[in-house]
């Protein structure tokens, strides 16, 4: 629920821990209180929270607290947050690339026109001399 990977937790617990050992630990019904305290300390949660953990209750609390937490600029969150993005960032990026491409093509055409003008002026000067 905290998003801590087994490898990361094993690293937190010390050299004699590895991913496989954490995996086996997760499958146990009972865990020694001393070990549970050590794990809780590394995860920065109370051991009681792990002992009394109920997945359905946790999911319910997360959904209700997360979805109701955005109360605006004067609310508890301390600022406005936009969870419902009103544009597609990839589409905006693609539009910016297309605009840069068009700008480059116009700049290239301008350089071609300038070179043509200079060539005509040079030919005119050669013809007069």
pLDDT in tens, the chain (129 residues): 677 888 888 888 888 889 898 888 888 888 888 888 888 888 888 888 777 766 676 666 666 665 555 555 444 445 555 556 677 888 889 999 999 999 999 999 999 999 999 999 999 999 998
Q: What is the pLDDT of residue 74?
A: 47
CA distances from 72 to 16, 65, 78, 86 (A): 47, 15, 8, 17
Q: What is the pLDDT of residue 100?
A: 95
Helix then strand count (H, E) for the chain reads 6, 0
Q: What is the pLDDT of residue 22?
A: 85
Alpha-carbon span 46 to 52, nearest angstrom: 10
Residues 6+ apart with CB under 8 A from 26: 6
Domain boundaries, the chain: 6-67, 87-129
pTM of the shown model = 0.42
Closest CA to 33 of 23, 44, 41: 41
């Amino acid at each position: 629920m905290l998003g801590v990977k087994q490898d990361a937790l094993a690293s937190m617990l010390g050299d004699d821990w590895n991913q496989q050992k954490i995996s086996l630990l997760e499958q146990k019904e009972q865990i020694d209180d001393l070990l549970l305290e050590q794990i809780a300390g590394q995860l920065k949660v109370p051991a009681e929270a792990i002992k009394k953990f109920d997945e359905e209750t946790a999911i319910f609390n997360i959904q209700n607290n997360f979805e109701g937490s955005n109360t605006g600029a004067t609310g508890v969150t301390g600022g406005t947050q936009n969870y419902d993005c009103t544009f597609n960032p990839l589409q905006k990026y693609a539009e910016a690339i297309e605009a840069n491409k068009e700008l480059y093509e116009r700049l290239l055409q301008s350089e071609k026109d300038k070179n043509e003008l200079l060539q005509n002026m040079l030919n005119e000067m050669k013809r007069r001399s």
